[in-house]
Amino acid sequence: MIDFINLYLVPGLTIGSVYALGAVGISMIFGILRFAHFAHGDLMTIGGYGVLTAVWFIPLHPLLLLPVGMALAIGAALAVDEFFYKPLRKLPTIYTVIASFGVALIFRSLAQLFWSSGNQVFVSGVRPPMVFFDTFRISELHLQVIILTLIIAVALHFFLTRSKLGRAMRAVSDEPELAAVAGLDTERVVRWTWVIGAALAATAGVFAGMDTSMHPNLGWNLLLAMFAAAVLGGIGKPMGAIAGGLIIGIAEETATFTWLSDEPLISPSYKSAVAFFIMVALLLFRPQGLFKGRLL
């Protein structure tokens, strides 16, 4: 049981936290703008590279430099919305979805141009894990990621339920036409959707880059799992996306645990298929997700 917690549960919660933060943006964008944003993973990559660049010049812990990555990701998100997505809003959704694929390629190419296509790390060297009760060995980074994700989840919940802007975002998500007739500034809601989604994407990108390494395909490689998390939680339900991300992360890691024999349930090289399997099963049997999100 100790090995299960140390080697599978905690890493599952860590990668699940990355999925959760990325899935929140995907879910919010779909709920308010009504399209699947396939450039969201690359927005994570841009934010991660922003913090990596800041680390080169400012001798601080990468997590303390998160605002730099957030600012870069937010600027990129607002720019592509203004120049690529906004002109297409009156057209069928498929045009915006295709445009998001193009934006993803642009982001990835820019990452390769400015930061090269190789792997780069935030901090070199190996740090020993933290030991609790002489049995639990947990990486300091993993503990930081899990705690920060829980704090973000609580803050997001209170923002969406208690603030005026949060209630406006929920109103636009539920009934956009009625919200516009009621006098809500829908364009302001759209801008803040991008701001929050991009900030959380940048945070997820930094978490993922610190846990492994930064490379131009980092966010793209995580995109399927983030979409699976958004579908699992219910499209358009940010808190559901957080729950979905944590579930997917734990499911991926624990699927490689040796439950009944010396052999793992599935090979570690195939654990990413767990997210795909969960997403397909949900679309077939419960397309509205655990939190009853949108079907359209």
pLDDT in tens, 102-150: 999 999 999 999 999 989 988 776 666 666 656 667 788 899 999 999 9
What's residue 257's pLDDT? 67
pLDDT over 60 at 260, yes or no: no
Domains of the chain and any CATH numbers = 2-115+138-285 (1.10.3470)
Please state, in angstroms and rounded to a whole number, the distance separating the CA atoms of residues 207 and 178: 38
pLDDT over 50 at 295, yes or no: no
The DSSP result for 87-128, as a single string, is GGTTS-HHHHHHHHHHHHHHHHHHHHHHH-SS-B-SS-S--P
CA distances from 178 to 171, 175, 181, 183, 295 (A): 8, 5, 5, 9, 19
Q: Are 44 and 22 in contact (CB under 8 A)?
A: yes
For residue 21, give both structure tokens.
């933060």
Residue pLDDT, tens place only, 2-37: 666 666 688 889 999 999 999 999 999 998 998 999
What is the mean pLDDT of the segment spanning 177-191? 82
What is the mean pLDDT of the segment spanning 38-67? 95
Please state, in angstroms and rounded to a whole number, the distance separating the CA atoms of residues 35 and 104: 15
Residue pLDDT, tens place only, 213-242: 999 999 999 999 999 899 888 888 888 999
Contacts from 152-159 at CB under 8 Å and sequence distance 24+?
Answer: 152/21, 152/200, 152/203, 153/20, 153/239, 153/242, 156/24, 156/196, 156/238, 156/239, 156/242, 157/239
Average pLDDT, the chain: 87
116: nearest Cα among 213, 29, 24 = 213
